Amino acid sequence: MKKIAIFASGSGSNFQAIVDAVKAGKLDAEVSLLVCDKPGAFCIERAQNERIPAFVFTPKDYAAKSDYETEIYEKLKELDVDFIVLAGYMRLIGEDLLTPYEGKIVNIHPSLLPAFPGKDAIGQALAAKVKETGVTIHFVDAGMDTGPIIARQSVSISQNDTRESLQTKIQEIEHQLYPSVLQKLLHS
């Protein structure tokens, strides 16, 4: 069984969807670790409730990105983690993780990449007044949301959509699509 580490910075709704998929037998994997860069984020409580260990850190407590990424890498090695799953992790991954996990780091993004990369993709889509956005799952490279695309699913935007309603529609897709794509990736 493949061991995964989930990296998150916020509420952890995708973290929970992945854990639930594992418990339901829809994703054949072991969630071995949560990595979180925001002490106090709700994803940490979710991990505690699921009895999943968490490595929580504050980036500014480190002299350089490579310092905390080296520490993360040591934790991943210690737990024999095979695959890294980014789920709302709001940091670019550096060489200290990209190199040893090349081709084994995926991210989910709330837009149809390459449209609306980076932060606040939902706000960007609303501001652009597009009629469609969506969800993209992609491999992670050194750029911001630039890695090879694995899967995408569109979400229509109605004129009545608010940031909250659009986020809800996107998350419904994310919570189904991510575990399904992970199952295929981990067992292909």
pLDDT tens-place string over residues 129-166: 999 999 999 999 999 999 999 999 999 999 999 999 99
pLDDT at 103 over 90: yes
Q: How far is CA 180 from CA 23, 51, 150, 176, in A?
A: 14, 23, 12, 7
Task: Please state whether beta strands 105-109 and 132-139 pair in parallel, antiparallel, or not at all (unpaired).
Answer: antiparallel
138 is an active site residue? no
Give the pLDDT mean for 36-49.
98
Give the pLDDT mean for 42-50.
98
Say which of 109, 138, 175, 187 is annotated catalytic.
Answer: 109
pLDDT at 188 over 90: no
Q: What residue ranges do the domains of the chain occupy?
A: 2-186
- 4 Cβ contact list (under 8 Å, min separation 6): 18, 29, 30, 31, 32, 81, 82, 83, 84, 85, 182, 186
CB 108 within 8 A of CB 17: no
Give the pLDDT mean for 42-54.
98
Taking domain 2-186, whether its CATH number is 3.40.50.170 is answered by: yes
Question: Residue 55 pairs with which residues in a beta bridge?
Answer: 35
AA identity, residue 134: G
Query: pLDDT of 23-40, one tens digit each?
Result: 999 999 999 999 999 999
pLDDT band at 109 (very low <50, low <70, confident <90, very high): very high
